[in-house]
């Protein structure tokens, strides 16, 4: 009989086979010449294999198993189910936008991050980018399949993808495929491949979008899944995949609305201290319109992020028993980022140490981006957030590799959001303005629950979603559009932040009540982070199973 560790290895192999670029980014050899399989046949085969693994994992008897074996079974079951739910959504048919959330734009970005060292990796890289015409042709076919099935992109987002491709093709000096330093002979081959093979394929894909798909695209007043066949059912399954909870869209909508209302008191208090302004609406509008609160340029933005990361790294030993060995760098988003690219995002380090963790800050139009959000986003993405959590998981060498690499959004993003408030407990924020940035980020995550469910369950228009974001948060028009378009193309993912944080806080509060004076925050954090990413229900069981320890 297959053991839980073997099932975990099989599921990871399935995932890496479907995402070989991810394998390269982790530093796992053997797939460096391959691209993802995006065809309907490839995804159907992946779906069937994942379902088979799930069924076999469900049949494992864990009655007398040790803790880690039980955790491995829970991870395999949930991860395999999430894979099935994601593939059943058929997102490549209708996910078209000019940023990393879409198959083609995301492929170009991630290819630019793959490390290349030595002749063999250079050869593999050339073989890989030579396959790009097959990938773009398969993506185009998926869009055609979607047209026939009534699952089509949203017109303004499709226009964004076309504009992104136009920018990519018109500024070859910023091509992310030219990022790596290759030996001279291989560099010449790469230039020829890009000129003669890759760019013509991208131009052809762009033409498919413009001449075949655009006419069938959904209008801006029907951007949600609910406007597509079986959209409500797809959305509910994606909610479960991203949150690992049984919440309904209606429940999540209400949770978000309640959180938005409850945060007004904090905004009023901080606004009074900063500006003598106690009206929360007036505080939010000032934060949204006062240009003195924005950056002077991208370099200033990057310097502030690096400073926040340094302070957090210095303070972390007082709150965590274990800390990661891998560093994290702060870099601007390379190339020509689309307006729909997020404000900041994190890429985990390679397992072999060949590439550090990277926090990418979007410096596009920095003078329109608020400085008060810098610290909270850096804490979320780096320390004590994603970099600390993900790097520690990678270092758990006694666990199956699946548990060291894969994540559950409610756990991973819930942890990131949890650490934004934890940073305040740690005394990391530089002042009330940065602390106010923390509160308005909470507003954003609460608004995500309202807007994501509004779009995909209740049929909101894109304009209504934009207006709700503008009235509920301090986002500029540029940032609000980026957020809303992300929810449109990545349904359910934005729900995981607040849902996960509320669950982690609930589990922490229960542990504090249970242990009383024996509760130790450092030990709680080590327990939460010491077993890799877990489904929320499994995390709760894990914390409850831990014996008390003497407080420091």
| pLDDT tens digit sequence for 126-154 | 999 999 999 999 999 999 999 999 999 99
Q: What is the pLDDT of residue 487?
A: 97
How does residue 476 score in pLDDT terms, banded at 50, 70 and 90? confident
Neighbours of 138 (CB within 10 A): 19
pLDDT band at 463 (very low <50, low <70, confident <90, very high): very high
What is each CA distance from 225 to 47, 267, 451, 524, in whole angstroms? 21, 34, 13, 39
**How far is 220 from 177, CA to CA, in rounded Å?**
32
pTM here is 0.92
Residues sharing a CB contact under 8 Å with residue 120, sequence separation 6 or more, in sequence order: none
Neighbours of 490 (CB within 10 A): 17
Number of DSSP helices (H) and strands (E) in the chain, helices first: 25, 3
* pLDDT per residue as tens digits for the range 185-209: 999 999 999 999 999 999 999 999 9
Look-up: residue for tokens 């796992």? 28
Give 547's pLDDT tier (boundaries 50, 70, 90).
Answer: low
* Closest to 252 (Cα-Cα) out of 495, 69, 56: 495
| Band of pLDDT at residue 342, cut at 50, 70 and 90 | confident
- Percent of the chain scoring above 70 in pLDDT: 98
Instruction: Give me the pLDDT at residue 548, please.
Output: 53
Res 339 pLDDT > 70: no
Higher pLDDT, 406 or 247: 247
Q: What angle do CA 503, 506, 507 make, to 5 degrees?
A: 85
Helix H or strand E segment including 185: helix 184-193
Q: What is the pLDDT of residue 115?
A: 87
Over range 4-26, report the average pLDDT: 97
The gap from C-alpha 399 to its chain's centroid, in whole angstroms, comes to 23
> Average pLDDT, whole number, for the chain?
95
Give me the residue spans of the domains in the chain: 231-501
Residue partners of 396: CB distance under 8 A and separation at least 6: 403, 404, 530, 531, 532
> At 272, is the pLDDT very low, low, confident or very high (cuts 50, 70, 90)?
very high
Portion of the chain with pLDDT greater than 90, in percent: 90
- Mean pLDDT of the 8-30 span: 96
Window from 40-44, 336-340, 376-380, 432-436 with minimum mean pLDDT = 336-340
| Residue 338, pLDDT score | 65
Average pLDDT over residues 89-112: 96
Q: Are 340 and 99 in contact, with CB atoms under 8 Å apart? A: yes
Q: What confidence score (pLDDT) does residue 392 get?
A: 97
Q: What is the pLDDT of residue 461?
A: 98
pLDDT given at position 527: 97
Is residue 127 classed exposed, middle or buried when 0-12, 13-18 and 19+ CB atoms within 10 A define those classes? middle
Instruction: Give the mean model confidence (pLDDT) for residues 37-61.
Output: 98
Question: Is the model's pLDDT at 273 over the cut of 70?
Answer: yes
Q: How confident is the model at residue 551 (pLDDT cuts 50, 70, 90)?
A: very low
Distance set, CA 351 to CA 29, 328, 412 (Å): 11, 13, 18
Give the per-residue pLDDT at 552.
Answer: 36
Looking at the DSSP bridge assignments, the partners of residue 357 are: 328
């Amino acid at each position: 009989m297959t053991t839980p560790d073997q099932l975990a290895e099989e599921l990871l192999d399935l995932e890496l086979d479907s995402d070989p670029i991810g394998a390269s980014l982790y530093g796992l050899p053997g797939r460096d010449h391959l691209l993802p399989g995006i065809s309907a046949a490839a995804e159907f085969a992946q779906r069937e294999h994942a379902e088979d693994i799930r069924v076999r994992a469900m049949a494992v008897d864990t009655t007398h198993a040790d803790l880690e074996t039980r955790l491995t079974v829970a991870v395999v079951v949930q991860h395999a189910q999430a894979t099935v739910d994601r593939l059943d959504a058929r997102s490549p048919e209708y996910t078209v936008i000019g940023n990393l959330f879409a198959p083609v734009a995301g492929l170009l970005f991630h290819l630019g991050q793959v490390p290349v060292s030595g002749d063999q990796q250079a050869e593999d890289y050339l073989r890989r980018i030579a396959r790009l015409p097959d990938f773009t042709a398969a993506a185009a076919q998926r869009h055609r399949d979607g047209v026939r099935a009534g699952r089509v992109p949203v017109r303004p987002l499709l226009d964004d993808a076309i504009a992104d491709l136009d920018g990519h093709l018109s500024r070859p000096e910023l091509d992310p495929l030219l990022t790596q330093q290759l030996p001279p002979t291989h560099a010449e081959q790469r230039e020829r491949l890009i000129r003669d093979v890759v760019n013509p394929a991208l131009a052809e894909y762009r033409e498919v979008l413009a001449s075949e798909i655009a006419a069938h695209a959904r209008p801006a007043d029907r951007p949600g899944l609910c406007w597509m066949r079986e959209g409500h059912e797809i959305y509910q399954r994606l909610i479960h995949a991203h949150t690992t909870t049984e919440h309904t869209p209606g429940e999540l909508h209400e949770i978000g609305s309640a959180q938005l209302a409850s945060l007004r008191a904090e905004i009023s208090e901080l606004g009074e201290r900063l500006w003598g302004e106690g009206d929360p609406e007036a505080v939010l509008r000032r934060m949204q319109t006062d240009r003195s609160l924005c950056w002077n340029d991208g370099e200033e933005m990057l310097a502030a992020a690096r400073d926040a990361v340094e302070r957090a790294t210095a303070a972390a030993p007082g709150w965590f028993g274990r800390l990661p060995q891998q560093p994290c760098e702060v870099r601007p988003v390379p190339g020509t980022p689309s307006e729909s690219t997020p404000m900041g995002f994190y890429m985990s380090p390679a397992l072999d140490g060949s590439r550090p963790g990277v926090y990418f800050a979007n410096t596009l139009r920095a003078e329109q981006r608020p400085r008060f959000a810098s610290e909270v986003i850096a804490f979320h993405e780096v320390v004590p957030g994603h970099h600390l959590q993900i790097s520690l998981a990678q270092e758990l060498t006694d666990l199956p590799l699946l548990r060291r690499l894969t994540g559950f959004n409610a756990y991973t993003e819930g942890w990131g959001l949890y650490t934004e408030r934890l940073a305040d407990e740690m005394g990391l924020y530089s002042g009330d303005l940065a602390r106010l940035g923390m509160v308005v980020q909470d507003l954003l995550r609460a608004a995500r629950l309202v807007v994501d469910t509004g779009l995909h369950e209740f049929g909101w228009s894109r304009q209504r979603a934009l207006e709700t974001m503008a009235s509920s948060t301090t986002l500029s028009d540029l940032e609000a559009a980026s957020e809303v378009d992300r929810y449109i193309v990545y349904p359910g993912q934005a729900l995981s932040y607040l849902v996960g944080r509320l669950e982690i806080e609930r589990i922490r509060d229960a542990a504090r009540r249970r242990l009383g004076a024996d509760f130790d925050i450092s030990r709680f954090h080590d327990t939460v982070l010491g077993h890799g990413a877990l489904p929320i229900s499994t995390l709760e069981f894990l914390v409850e199973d831990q014996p008390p320890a003497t407080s420091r």
